[in-house]
Amino acid sequence: MTAEKEFNHSTGNPIVDEIGKMNFSGNIIPESWYRTIKKPTGKADINAIIILADIVYWYRPSEHRSETSNAVTYTKKFHDECYLQRSYEQLGTKFGLTKRQVTDAVVRLEKLGLIKRHLRTVKTAVGACPNVLYLELCPEVLRKFTYPETNLTQDLEVSHFLEGGVPKKSGISHASPDEVSHSYEEYTPINRETNTETTQKNTSKKTTTMDAVAMKQVIVQAKQILAKYKLPERDIASILKAANYDIDKLQKATSVLAHSNNVKNVTGWLIEAITKEYSLPKKVNGFNNFQQRNYDYAQLERQMLEKSQVNKGPADSKLT
């Protein structure tokens, strides 16, 4: 009879051994989210990340194993047939955030395409409850933000470079008789002071709209043009924004930069060159490689006449 093998479950570290005995459950935050879910400042969007982790938890299936047949079945955690029902107040109470902080974070997640919001009117025993918030999770987009090392990297880049992405207002589609179509809650930026002057300024501003495919091409081209300067993505995004995502403007600015000396802040210089429309001096040809000058021919003629009068002697004056 052979002796049973004894398994050593100790790691050699008592703290690690004790932690290994604990069964952790609940929200999970993948490390990649700190790199892919960011604010416009380039820093990780912590509020959006913890709220997304809670949404993902509720969409993760629950496993049930039969004691008799060992069959495994999976069920959803939430009660609604389609989506998770959550309110801004519930999320704020759970994570110690204000309603405005939760709303802003949820809107940012929606702009990234990770979730969709649905507002319904729910019938209850005591009456109808309007504006009940339901959150739909988008698995394909979530996969892109969770596994950026795959061939989906360009899609993530588009989400950082594109302005907006999801309409601020949208109605519920395919509404059932129990649902009432509503508009989404208006999202107000952090600077909430509004007036007529700023409205006129914003509406008169010229912007460029392009689809995701075109934006991918612009980003790839910009990275190729700026590759030798080894700029971070945040700087490339700022330069592209200054150029209104126009590659021709970027190429023109970099051609001027190539003929400039002692440029220490490449990003700042390119942004200024684009906004002020720097250009190379005009050249006649390869042999006469000099900058053209603008001459005042009338003034030159007067100067030549005055010089000729000075050069005339007394005898010349009498002859005339």
pLDDT tens by residue, 139-167: 999 999 999 876 444 555 566 555 433 33
* 269 against 289, higher pLDDT: 269
For the chain, give the percent of residues with pLDDT over 90.
Answer: 38
Q: What is the pLDDT of residue 215?
A: 78
CB atoms within 10 A of CB 297: 7
DSSP line for 113-127: TSEEEEEEEEEETTE
Query: What is the C-alpha separation between 49 and 39, in angstroms, rounded?
Result: 11
- Asked which of 59-63, 107-111, 261-265 is least confident by mean pLDDT, the reply is 261-265
* DSSP H or E run through 130: strand 127-137
Work out the average pLDDT over 229-243: 89
Strand partners, 236: none
Shortest CA distance to 108 belongs to which of 152, 171, 61, 44?
A: 44
**Confidence band (pLDDT; 50, 70, 90) for 89?**
very high
The pLDDT value recorded for residue 65 is 83
Cβ(123)–Cβ(132) below 8 Å:
no
**What does the block give as tokens for 104?**
């802003």
Residues 92-135: pLDDT tens digits?
999 999 999 999 999 999 999 999 999 999 888 888 999 999 99
**Domain extent listing, the chain:** 25-188, 209-308
Q: What is the mean pLDDT of residues 306-310?
A: 65
pLDDT tens-digit map of 12-56: 999 999 999 898 889 999 999 999 999 888 899 999 999 999 999
Tokens of 278: 């720097």
Residue of higher predicted confidence among 313 and 269: 269
152-208 tens-digit pLDDT: 445 555 665 554 333 333 333 333 333 333 433 333 344 444 444 433 444 444 444
Q: How many CA atoms lie within 13 A of 292 on its CB side?
A: 8
Percentages helix, strand, coil for the chain (3-state, rounded to 5) are 45, 10, 45
Token readout for 67 is 């004691």
